[in-house]
A = this chain, B = another copy of it.
Amino acid sequence: MSIRIGIFGYGNLGRGVECAIRQNPDMEIAAVFTRRDPSLVKTVFSDTPVYAADKVLEFKNDIDVMILCGGSATDLPVQTPSLAESFNVVDSFDTHARIPEHFGNVDKAAKASGKTAIISVGWDPGLFSLNHLYAASILPEGKNYTFWGKGVSQGHSDAIRRIDGVADARQYTVPVPAALEAVRSGSDPELTTRMKHTRECFVVAEEGADLARIENEIKTMPNYFADYDTTVTFISQQELNEKHGGLPHQGFVIRSARTGAESENNHIIEYSLKLDSNPEFTASVLVAYARAAYKLNCKGDCGCKSVLDIAPAMLSPYSGSELFRYL
């Protein structure tokens, strides 16, 4: 029998989950839930059923795991604890500072209902978190580094679009090659924010807008751009659509550490991702952890977990002796 997956919220991430489930023969899509009018939602595959979000509790017995595809700012803090009262749930909550609070809320709901929840699933937080943990646990005397990009930051793109006179924008985060190489060399450099990443902005201005003012507002924007070397290039909407339509991303987690009686030996552990589609990859991670949530709940292991609490074998459709192939 297949694991029946519900998709709650249907944007780029939800569409990615819909595609990813097709790649996993032990799973099927039970339904998509949306706050929009279901008849207006066009799914990737025409046979995917779509229902109104407020009907979700009617599907309590028809869904094994609900994958939440809403945003971390306002959707997930409410939706994940609420749905954990009735479903096994997986979300990609990524507001780092609020994870302990979110974890507590979801844990309380899931423990009360006997359901299993896995939060903050994706690549950062998610796969990057567990790689930091593995590397630091194995090599205690060292430093962890994270680099992002080259890739599109949707948050930074949105910040530019909020500037007066900006019609559209796409922002790329780019790691500084010399900084990456210094880390890989084992020299354990101290790196400031500015030394690690640059920011490349492609901006479509409204007709007649003051380009110099827009460029200055971007470059001096606190938190987002002021601490970085930022370049701004004005282009047409057509060029933006043609050349900057995708959502690629990359990232690197590197640990540089020492062992030996005199700490004389250096070791580098590097984990990297190069993704054509950030939302489709994140969706694939969510789907693998949905399998884990289902397996754990079948074993009676309820409450809230993070990726750090999940054994790798739980992600696999294989089990027991079939897994020896990986050893």
Contacts and interface: CB of A to CB of B under 8 A. Distances in A.
Nearest to A246: B265
A312 B316 contact: no
Contacts of A120: 327
A116 to B, nearest CB: 14
A174 B308 CA distance: 34
A280 B265 contact: yes
A16 B276 contact: no
A20 B259 contact: yes
A138 B315 contact: yes
Interface string A280-294: 110111001001000
Interface of A: 16, 19-20, 23-24, 44-45, 96, 99-100, 103, 120, 125, 127, 129-130, 132-134, 136-141, 184, 259-261, 264-277, 280-281, 283-285, 288, 291, 306-313, 315-317, 321, 323-324, 326-327
A313 B312 CA distance: 11
Nearest to A135: B127
A21 to B, nearest CB: 11
A99 B120 CA distance: 34
A138 B42 CA distance: 26
A139 B139 CA distance: 28
B259 A281 contact: yes
Contacts of A321: 100
B311 A309 contact: yes
A281 B308 contact: no
B265 A273 contact: no
A100 B324 CA distance: 7
Given A139-B281, A267-B273, 9 more contacts: A19-B261, A20-B259, A99-B324, A125-B327, A130-B312, A132-B326, A265-B277, A306-B323, A309-B311
Nearest to A280: B259
B274 A260 contact: no
B315 A307 contact: no
Contact of A103 (B99, B136, B324): B324
B137 A315 contact: yes
Contact of A271 (B45, B140, B271): B271
Contacts of A140: 23-24
Contacts of A312: 130, 133-134, 137, 307-310
A91 B136 CA distance: 21
Contact of A259 (B16, B184, B272): B16
A261 B12 CA distance: 12
16 contacts: A19-B261, A23-B259, A44-B261, A99-B324, A120-B327, A130-B312, A136-B326, A137-B291, A138-B285, A138-B288, A259-B277, A268-B274, A306-B327, A308-B312, A309-B313, A311-B311
A327 to B, nearest CB: 4
Nearest to A26: B140
